[in-house]
Amino acid sequence: MMRRGDDVKRFVFLWPYLLLSVSLVLSSCGPESTSQDVESYLAVSLSLDSNNDLEPIQPIPLTISLDQQKVRLGDRLFHDPRLSHDNTIACSSCHDLTKGGTDQAYRSTGIKGAIGGINTPTVFNSGLNIRQFWDGRANTLEDQIDGPTQHPAEMGSTWPEIIGKLQQDESYAKDFSTIYADGMTAATIKNAIATFEHSLLTPHSRFDQYLRGEQDAITSLEKRGYALFKNYGCVACHQGANVGGNLFQQFGLFTDKDTGDDRVDRSPAKTDDHENHRHMVKVPSLRVAVLTPPYFHDGSAATLPDAVRKMARVQLGRHLTEKEIAAIVAFLYTLPGQYQGHDL
């Protein structure tokens, strides 16, 4: 998307500001708004919640059409450490499906104990992202797979090495020849893994049930948290079915733009070095955020309240009360859904 011309890039970069402006105009509540102003907005916002057409967040689809043979093959590959040079690291090592699709670590550990340079994002709902990686350098899930498999501090392998090892497994050879006309290649391995990753949706959250009309699916505190989430402009970046993942934003709009990591100190698609495109990171999805501490690309927020507090300050120029933070965190706890029929 970032290569389709300056107009498209400008829209992606300005989209959060446009949404934030609309939010502030509708609420008439700036950073110095009074409690009465906020409560008045919340009353209006809560009265609109029953109309799903007016909501910036949409439910995750309950079903998705995928080739189940490829999903099963990709599942096996995703958990296979033979994709790494020393047969010790699988995709699931850093993207543990029992830990919200991450390893819940400040930095991930690769082959030979190497420590990565950036916090691992969740793989759940990653198929809903506009691009992959924090800096957006991969267009698709297939493209993304090239990164960790060949990075010397992650899996440290090559495609000839991976294919050579997997071809010795008769069950793999049989499955690839059955499913793919080209058999086992780098492209078909990546396609199988990406198809599995597309299956990692988390539908039927309590909040999605609420959006679909079940008013009692979330509590009054959680509804208040959602109203604050909208009123204070969090939805400027965190919206859509994935509650994020669909645009890029500068880290630190109201503070010095110090990302803390040179790897994200560049334009998302690496198309230029324009100063306005520096410090841009992909806005993360909040769908399973309650399961994936620590937070941000640099892992600098240890807890969810810490993350909410910092985001309000550096992205919105607001200093929230502890009650407001607790309400927003309560709302975030309504977002994880189900995987394979089980609550996350």
What is the set of active-site residues? 154
- Residue 296 tokens, joined: 């941000």
Q: Angle 186-198/68-78 helices, nearest 10 degrees? A: 100
- Residue 195 tokens, joined: 């198809």
DSSP string, 206-243: HHHHHHTT-GGGS-HHHHHHHHHHHHTTGGGTS-TTTT
167 CB neighbour count, 10 Å cutoff: 13
- Distance, in Å, from the CA atom of 287 to the CA atom of 274, rounded to the nearest integer, reads 32
Going by C-alpha positions, the residue among 246, 227, 224 that lies closest to residue 237 is: 246
Task: Please say whether the beta carbons of 172 and 160 come within 8 A.
Answer: no
- Distance, in Å, from the CA atom of 77 to the CA atom of 166, rounded to the nearest integer, reads 10
Going by C-alpha positions, the residue among 225, 231, 249 that lies closest to residue 38 is: 231
Q: Vertex 286, ends 309 and 311: CA angle to 5°?
A: 20
136 CB neighbour count, 10 Å cutoff: 24
- Distance, in Å, from the CA atom of 313 to the CA atom of 298, rounded to the nearest integer, reads 17
- Distance, in Å, from the CA atom of 295 to the CA atom of 277, rounded to the nearest integer, reads 22
- Distance, in Å, from the CA atom of 54 to the CA atom of 45, rounded to the nearest integer, reads 10
Pairing of the two strands 248-250 and 342-343 = unpaired
**Cα-to-chain-centroid distance, residue 75:** 20
Q: Which ranges of 127-260 would DSSP assign to H, the alpha helix? A: 141-150, 159-166, 170-179, 186-198, 206-211, 220-231
